[in-house]
Amino acid sequence: MASKVKSIPKGWHSVTPFLCVKDAARAIEFYSKAFGATELQRIEEPDGKVNHALLKIGDSMVRLSDDSSRHVAEWVAKGWSRSPQSLGGTPVHFYVYVEDSDAAFKRAIAAGAKAMEPVTDKEWGDRLGSLMDPFGHIWMIATHKRDVPVEEVSKRRAGRG
């Protein structure tokens, strides 16, 4: 079976997102300010464009590349990536757990994110707000408040409408 992995490198999870953004240098600044990201690595091209960078947000690694870097140009040539701003949206959101979603949400908005949904208590036990970052990626910022069995959440959903 494919799921039993011997050794995921230390500090990594099974799944790691790789984001394409317009102006990666500014995005790194935003993710640091808004989500407390730590920059672990930054590879620049001769013109200063971020070829790729490695950030840690909470306990998760996130990679990103600049839309106009040579790295992404290679991808685009193969037909498989551009930033949300060039594509007109994104098919992937990110759900992130933080200590205090109200505070994190406020910080992100102050750093330039756009609120999509204010922070409220959700039926699955999380206090959650959603926002679009200045680069078009969508984040759901949550703090877990109480445990609700998943069946119960499904039941409530089913009975709602």
Partner 1 sequence: VTRKLRAGEAFVCPQGLWHRQFAEKSVSMLYGTPIDTSENSDADDPRVAAEKVTVPVAAVSRSIMPFLHIEGVAQAVEFYKSVFGATVLMRDEEPSGIVSHAMLKMGETTVMLSDPSSRDVKQNDVNRLSRPPRSYGGSPVHLYIYVADVDDVVRRAVAAGAKAIDQVEDRDWGDRCGGIEDPYGHVWFVGTPLKDLPAKGSS
Rounded to a whole number of angstroms, the minimum distance from the CB of residue 6 to partner 1 is 4
Rounded to a whole number of angstroms, the minimum distance from the CB of residue 10 to partner 1 is 7
Distance in angstroms (rounded) separating the CA atoms of residues 154 and 157: 5
Rounded to a whole number of angstroms, the minimum distance from the CB of residue 80 to partner 1 is 6
Residues 33-52 that bind partner 1 (CB under 8 A): none
User: Quick one: which segment of 25-33, 42-50, 75-83, 105-113 binds partner 1 (CB under 8 A)?
Assistant: 75-83
Distance in angstroms (rounded) separating the CA atoms of residues 62 and 39: 10
Helix (H, G, I), strand (E, B) or coil at 86: helix
One residue of 63, 70, 106, 107 binding partner 1 per CB under 8 A? 63
One residue of 69, 70, 82, 133 binding partner 1 per CB under 8 A? 82
Instruction: List Cβ neighbours of 127 (8 Å cut-off, separation of 6 or more).
Output: 101, 102, 119, 120, 121, 142, 143, 145
Residue number with CB closer to partner 1 (74 or 110):
74
Q: In what order do the strands lie in the sheet with 138-144?
A: 114-121, 126-132, 138-144
Instruction: Tell me, residue by residue from 130 to 159, as one string, x for binding to partner 1 by CB under 8 A and - for no binding.
Output: x-x---xxx-x---x--xxxxx-xx--xx-
Q: Does residue 90 belong to the site contacting partner 1 (CB under 8 A)?
A: yes
Rounded to a whole number of angstroms, the minimum distance from the CB of residue 27 to partner 1 is 12
Helices 101-110 & 24-35 angle (0-180, nearest 10): 140
CA distances to 24, 52, 104 from 19, rounded to whole Å, are: 9, 10, 20
Residue 112 gets the label, from left (phi > 0), alpha (psi -120 to 50) or beta, of: left
Residue ranges binding partner 1 (CB under 8 A): 1-10, 12-21, 57-60, 62-63, 78-84, 86-97, 116-117, 124-126, 130, 132, 136-138, 140, 144, 147-151, 153-154, 157-158, 161
